[in-house]
Amino acid sequence: MKATALAHPNIALVKYWGKRDDALILPHQSSLSLTLSPLSVTTTVEFGVPTDAVEINGHTSKGSERERVLRLLESVRAQTKDALGPAKVVSRGDFPMAAGLASSAAGFAALAVAGRAAAGLPSDARAASILARLGSGSACRSVEGGFCEWQRGERPDGDDSFAVQRFDAAHWPDLRMVVAVLDRGEKDVKSRDGMKQTVETSPYYPAWVRDAEEEVPRARAHIARRDLQALGELCERNAWRMHSTSLAADPPLCYLNAGTLGLIQHLREHRKKGIPVWFTLDAGPNPVLLTDAANEVAAEALARACGALDVIRCVPGGDAALKQEHLF
Ligand code: DP6
């Protein structure tokens, strides 16, 4: 009745931006991401306790965050014959929320894997990915490691909307992702609200959906060949297009700040000098730089020279996994 799992966050190379079903978290388009090690979130779930209790990073969880956790566990209960009873959940990340990297993806992936195990359900990456998706869309891509593709699916019940691993972490050990934390503040508009506003008001949104869907197989082909330049160019293009469709929303959504643009300009100068470094950007001002092992020190120096407060160097990460020790 008690289980603990660890999962890594992921960074989207082709972004997910917009839902066709808000309740089931079904996306308009497919997306593709890379799991990031050594960052991780560990979550313990125990069923059969007196009342539901959720603790995240040492704080009792409230409001929509708590509701999302309990809703995911409700779906676990619906899949078992036994009465599991109320649940206690304790989750802890080993990286600061302020890093600008969503810990929610890793948190919900770990919750899905631990929740299924605590309920006595068999290990099943597809079922865990569907479950994690109910917590946060991008979480479905953190159940397996390496390069994962979230297939949008067609079914209204969402049973064909889950992530599949295309290449494991060992496929491209030389790849590096360098997170440049330019701003530690909370963003004004959360991804969930920003993407909804974009779907509802941006005239460019249909073009975004068409383009992103077409970029996924291209990204897969570049990853298959370990073609850093082609993948880097695709990532930048996709990030710009996500931000362009958001800028065209009403009211407009601008997640970049002056520091972000400064870093991007310097990065282009570095490329002219032959340093292979590209960026991607989620719904916030902190770029994530793509490079290789030989150039990660140069990428970190670039980020620091452009005002990064923290720099986190990452390598491709592995699958979410059950652990022996529990958090409580
Ligand atoms: C820009 O997965 O956090 O990071 O499904 O509403 O919980 P919800 O949103 P979330 O959005 C992630 C948006 C993104 C791009 C991505 O990770 O693909």
Q: Report how many domains make up the chain.
A: 2
Q: CATH code at 205? A: 3.30.70.890
As beta bridge partners, residue 190 has: none
Q: What pTM does this model have? A: 0.97
Cα 308 from Cα 181, distance rounded (Å):
5
Cα 50 from Cα 306, distance rounded (Å):
51
- pLDDT of amino acid 184: 86
Average pLDDT of the segment spanning 5-17:
98
Mode of pairing for the β-strands spanning 87-93 and 53-56: parallel
Cα of 214 vs centre of ligand 1, distance in Å, is 19
Atom of ligand 1 nearest to the CA of 135: 7
23 lies in the same domain as 118: yes
159 lies in the same domain as 186: no
Atom of ligand 1 nearest to the CA of 68: 7
Q: CATH code at 66? A: 3.30.230.10
Mode of pairing for the β-strands spanning 163-167 and 175-181: unpaired
Per-residue pLDDT of 218-268, as tens digits, reads 999 999 999 999 999 999 999 999 999 999 999 999 999 999 999 999 999
- Residue pair 179/37 in contact (Cβ under 8 Å)? The answer is no
Nearest CA to ligand 1 atom 14: 282
Atom of ligand 1 nearest to the CA of 105: 2
* Distance, C-alpha 44 to centroid of its chain: 20
Cα 22 from Cα 174, distance rounded (Å):
37
144 lies in the same domain as 220: no
Cα 55 from Cα 168, distance rounded (Å):
31
Atom of ligand 1 nearest to the CA of 31: 18
- pLDDT of amino acid 185: 82
Ligand 1 pocket test, pick from 34, 133, 136, 138 with the greatest ligand atom count within 8 Å of Cβ, gives 138
Cα of 290 vs centre of ligand 1, distance in Å, is 19
Domain boundary among 123, 153, 170: 170
The residues lining ligand 1, judged by C-beta closer than 6 Å to any ligand atom, are: 12, 15-17, 25, 31, 102, 104, 136-138, 191-192, 282-283
Residue 129 has pLDDT above 90, yes or no: yes
**Which of these ranges, 93-102, 169-178, 210-219, 313-322, has the smallest mean pLDDT?**
93-102
In a domain, 325, yes or no: no
Residue 300 has pLDDT above 70, yes or no: yes
133 lies in the same domain as 220: no
117 lies in the same domain as 205: no
Domain that holds residue 284: 175-316
Residue type for position 304: R
Average pLDDT of the segment spanning 40-52:
97
In a domain, 328, yes or no: no
